[in-house]
Structure 1
Amino acid sequence: MKTPSLYLQNCLFFTANALARSVTRLAEKAFRDTGLSPSLAFAVMLVNDQPGITVKELAEHLHLAPSTLTRFTDKLVYQDLVERKQEGKLTRVYPTDRAREAQAAIEKAWTRLHEDYSAVLGREAGDALARETFAAHQRLEDLS
């Protein structure tokens, strides 16, 4: 019989979740100075990059449920980082001046996160792991 640690080491569910927790800790540390969670910061970056993006598009880019993005948007509106505009059935999200001003700090945090995990994994290995994880996510997403 295998030891419990071998079961866990050979299970994608447990190893992926353990990796996610480790990366989340690194990301929260890297983004702390922005005053935003990493997910909210990435949402602001997307809105800055694509003014007028829909909540649905944001949800797709961030791989989150639309209801989660609605809550994110509520928080960002409250923090005066985005504004929503209704166009028929679509809700479009636009950056505020405050969001555009935050962009440099967010990009700095993103760079810090990349440097932090690259320092441990190696730049090439970290980048390859990110690409492989994304590709696996896309293939598995097709099953659901």
Structure 2
Amino acid sequence: MGKPISQSLNRCLFFTVKKLDRIMDKIAEEAFKQTGLSPTYGFIILAVNEQPGITQKELAELLHTAPSTIARFVVKLENKKLIYTEQSGRSTLSYLTDEGKILVKKIDEAWDNLHNIYADVLGKEESDDLALHISEIGDQLKLNE
């Protein structure tokens, strides 16, 4: 390595992304506290609201999460009476319950709050550009899997 470990870690994409992930998790959890849901559950609710009948496979692709993880999340949201599912052939389709629909506004507010928290620190344009750039990097690295 030849450099001090702290310098090496600060120049390592793996560790800097992990650091950012931990920080963003804390910020997102705080922003979503008012909903009673974790950010991931909130994003699932928003996705189902936007596309009623979305499949678990589509949710997994949208959220870049393993299908088995999405299946567990959907079951938990069903247990909370926020989502219900229907089978269509081999696919499981997800829909919001009335309780889930009521929660959408609060989740939208939490999402906006999350964006405002880091935009206040980084600036709106910088935070938007950074998110887009990180997404593009993820897509590029995924192609090299």
Shift of 1:142: 1.4
Structure 1 equivalent of residue 29 of structure 2? 28
RMSD across aligned positions (CA)? 0.7
SS at match of 1:92: strand
Structure 2 equivalent of residue 92 of structure 1? 93
SS at match of 1:85: strand
SS at match of 1:72: helix
Shift of 1:119: 1.1
Gap runs ≥5 in structure 2: none
Structure 1 equivalent of residue 51 of structure 2? 50
Shift of 1:4: 1.1
Structure 1 equivalent of residue 107 of structure 2? 106
Shift of 1:92: 0.5
Gap runs ≥5 in structure 1: none
TM-score by length of 2: 0.97
Shift of 1:99: 1.1
SS at match of 1:28: helix
Between the aligned partners of 2:66 and 2:99, the Cα distance in structure 1 is: 26
SS at match of 1:64: coil
Give deviations 1:11-57, integer Å, cap 9, x for gaps.
00000010011111100000001000000000000001100000000
Between the aligned partners of 2:55 and 2:62, the Cα distance in structure 1 is: 11
SS at match of 1:109: helix
Alignment of 1:95-134 (within 5 A): 95-134=96-135
Shift of 1:89: 0.5
1:107 partner amino acid: D
TM-score by length of 1: 0.98
More divergent stretch after superposition (104-113 vs 119-128): 119-128
SS at match of 1:36: coil
Give deviations 1:72-127, integer Å, cap 9, x for gaps.
00100000111010011111001111111001100000000001001111111111
Question: Runs ≥4 in structure 1, deviation > 6 angstroms?
Answer: none
